[in-house]
Amino acid sequence: MKRVAIVGTVGIPARYGGFETLAENLVLNKSEGITYDVFCSAPSYERQRATYGGAKLIYLRCSANGASSVLYDFLSLYKCYRDKYDVILILGVSGCLLLPAIKTFGKYKVVTNIDGMEWRRKKWGWWAKLFLKISERFAVKYSDIVVTDNQGISDYVKNSYGVLPKTISYGGDHAIVGCNAELNETRQGKYAFALCRIEPENNVHLVLEAFHSASYSLVFVGNWDASTYGMNLKSTYCGSCNIKLLDPIYDLKELFRYRSQCSLYVHGHSAGGTNPSLVEMMHFGKPILAFDCIYNRYTTEQKAAYFTSASDLSKFLVNYEGEGLEENAKAMEVLAKKYYTWARVTKEYESLF
């Protein structure tokens, strides 16, 4: 029996982002030879369960986000060292400055998913970027196995550090919460759908600018009130007759209704490797229009449609019916079922343990 600790997430049940969804689905799809302990941020959970899906939940009284994430990860790793796990699965690099001590004084197998070059994100100041860059270096040097979620990130790790990581993407089939008949029979609406954290690197401003001058409707879900960037966009575009801005939706059934009824998905992410929201949407067999970057092209195997500016997106919307969208949609669903299922992802992670 392998005892595995999962470090670096807000916790499970998943209520935040991609790493939380990964942790939850590793737990829910685990084989009989694995047991999990998952570290959770107590302030994020009003109800603190002792277990979930057979995993033991360990709560720490600090936030897993922002600057306090460093303390959160340090405490988690200290407890891992004290409690003698077989494997420590670290999601993100915030606490990886402790890895030399963990590897020196403990006999643990450390598997680290380094995320998507977090230090490059525009939201961080120079000090945070430096810290994250150093943490990334420690993660690559002192982990037994480095995991990335996209071939583009794997190429970067190989070229920068001379280390060959294991590439494992995310599953997305958990997003299909209705039966197939319900999905197939749902009447499609003439609207595009978008879902992301409202950050500049997700090119939200480009998407909204393009749709503001188009006749095509857009439903956009995001955390508009979490930053000045988001609040300014909300103030500018909330009055547009064809744009509907919604606050974050975490209920998969509600998201299913929007996803299954839209006729186009717009994905503006330009950083972070393979984005969970993209692979989730691919399972719906909808045409996808993605920002043109190496990560999105790897994820979609260059079979989606791509844009680099608001004018690109506007031109696409004008010529919407003639862009080979049926082939696009079919290709996305085929790729999703082939690569982006939790059964496949779980099997690949467990092979590393």
Q: What is the mean pLDDT of the chain?
A: 90
Fold of domain 173-339 = Rossmann fold (3.40.50)
pLDDT in tens, 111-132: 999 986 665 666 667 777 788 8
pLDDT in tens, 295-346: 999 999 999 999 999 999 998 888 766 557 889 999 999 999 999 999 999 9
pLDDT in tens, 158-205: 999 999 999 999 999 999 986 544 444 444 568 999 999 999 999 999
| DSSP string for residues in 269-304 | --SSSS-HHHHHHHTTT--EEEE-SHHHHHHHTT-S
246: β partners: 221
Q: Write the CA distances from 312 to 290, 323, 329, integer angstroms.
A: 11, 13, 20
Is residue 272 over pLDDT 70? yes
Residues of the chain with CATH 3.40.50.2000: 2-168, 173-339
pLDDT in tens, 212-232: 988 899 999 999 999 999 999
How, if at all, do strands 34-41 and 51-52 pair? unpaired
* CATH superfamily for domain 2-168: Glycogen Phosphorylase B; (3.40.50.2000)
pLDDT in tens, 228-263: 999 999 999 999 999 999 999 988 999 999 999 999
